[in-house]
Amino acid sequence: MTGIPCSHACAAIKIVHGNIYDYIDNCYKKSSQEKIYARSMIPVVTTDMPHPNDYYRIENVSEQVFLLPPMTSRPPGRPKVNKDEPQFQNKRIYHCERCHQPGHTRRNCRNPNPS
């Protein structure tokens, strides 16, 4: 259905000594892709770029400056996890059922029973 035979079809084609590329749709072949992208991909002109075979022109290679990769060091241990804070921090304020003061519940109330 897609224009490319499945693996089972490829195995059957190989058994009968056929060419798998004859069974592929033309739009997937290299010649069609080159026709599609012929006008949209224009090669870049490289006028001032040296030719790779001209090594005899390079003089004093040891005096030239070459950039080295940056020195990086990882700290030991597992990396810290950055926890995302909630957008709205609505902390619930607990009120004690016994003394009606905020900040604790009846379970951990230290005030005596109000009478």
Domain locations along the chain: 1-42
* Per-block mean pLDDT, blocks of 10 residues, the chain (115 long): 84 91 87 84 72 59 70 84 72 84 87 68
> pLDDT value at position 52?
65
The answer to whether 81 and 72 have CB atoms below 8 angstroms apart is no
- What is the value of pTM for the model shown? 0.32
pLDDT at 87: 66
Q: Which residues have CB under 8 Å from 3's CB, separation 6+? A: 24, 25, 27, 28
CA-CA-CA-CA dihedral for 65, 69, 75, 79, to nearest 10: 150
